[in-house]
Structure 1
Amino acid sequence: MTGPVIAAASPTAPSEARAALHRLRAEVAKAVVGQDAVVTGLVIALLCRGHVLLEGVPGVAKTLLVRTLATALDLDSKRVQFTPDLMPGDVTGSLIFDPRTAAFTFREGPVFTNLLLADEINRTPPKTQSALLEVMEERQVTVEGGRRPLPEPFIVAATQNPVEYEGTYPLPEAQLDRFLLKLTVPLPERDEELGVLRAHHAGFDPRDLRAAGVRPVAGAADLAAARAEAHAVHVAEPVL
């Protein structure tokens, strides 16, 4: 007698969530030359529901990197240019008096989105920087005692220039604690700089990512599936 025939196990195919993240990285690479380590950090933050602080000198594509990520993700995204005269209400929203109803109504600020680009966050005073404390930790805005939850997912990707540049305000410790990662965006290598020049010579316009071929390749469902897979990873007791 012969025993039952056992079919050889086929190698496990990459999950749809993993494939979506690979597509996301490839799509970002269409506009951003190099910076693979920074892109990896952004993907990690997406999986961990964490916020990211990007630091680097002007001109290393910090803003372009986040804008490209927002374009490649089929999520709602908004951008806030932080300036010295920006007020906290300009970030979180504020109560507006409606003369038709003789009542105050809440006008939502740009934080009510999925991916918030806080551009040059250290160019605004700490009073306005503190407007992000509650939204980054609690993912909500409290107005007149009322709780207004933010959409899910919600991630803040902030950029800042080194503090030795004029007109900047160092982030307070309480604000820094809200970020999962601080990623330093370095100057590109020589070959990468040549790649940037060739891209511009070929007609690349950083203000028009659609023309550069950047398209949404992943969405909220892909992100939720990837987070679920990351959450299911077993951590052995010695590692803990």
Structure 2
Amino acid sequence: MTDRKAQLAANLARVEDRIAAACAAAGRPRDEVTLIVVTKTYPASDVRFLAELGVTQVAENRDQEAAQKAADCTEAGLTWHFVGQLQTNKARSVVRYADFVHSVDRSRLVSALSDAAVRTGREVGCLVQVALDAPSGSVGSRGGAAPEDVAELADAVAAADGLRIEGVMTVAPLTGRYAGEPRAAFDRMREIASALRETHPAATMVSAGMSSDLEHAVAAGATHVRVGTAVLGVRPGLR
């Protein structure tokens, strides 16, 4: 085993222990929470190591990097998640490799993704990104629709050809009433997710929690946690 693969294996084991402990503390079965490893800025070789170590779900947030990496790792049989803010003119590229798009936050993007999915003959799972600190009718500074706009956007996804409404995604806000309060933010997300399931029962995904706050997200009912730094290390350029 190479040094890098051994390092990734050790990091994955630590993250797995954290998720398992968080599930136990919340009284949840471990298999209710899926780990998505965010591989942005790291090479395709790392992605292949992760696949060899049993990772099945990976995420990227920039199309240019993600498209090339997905092409380089086709043999790994991974499920790809796109989690970054997405411009409509990148929709056609993203749907070629992404099985899920977590960052749907406006109707124009729904239309662009639908058109691209139909053209490429794919069906893409979509999550409405929620900006907990955004006022109604606006998009948050880090992307995401206001809580009041989630239902309408989810309806648009559900009605669009080539798309499925799978659930909701959020990032703990850095400003506003939830700044520094990830558990409160994720509890609010649980309420939004529950309301969404009343009209879209199959929309069961709750994508929340990252390296620094995954325990809070699991406690609040997250079904998917997006972990990068704790698995791969501090990103190049941030050391």
Same fold (TM over 0.5): no
Greater RCO, 1 or 2 (C-alpha within 8 Å, sep 6+): 1
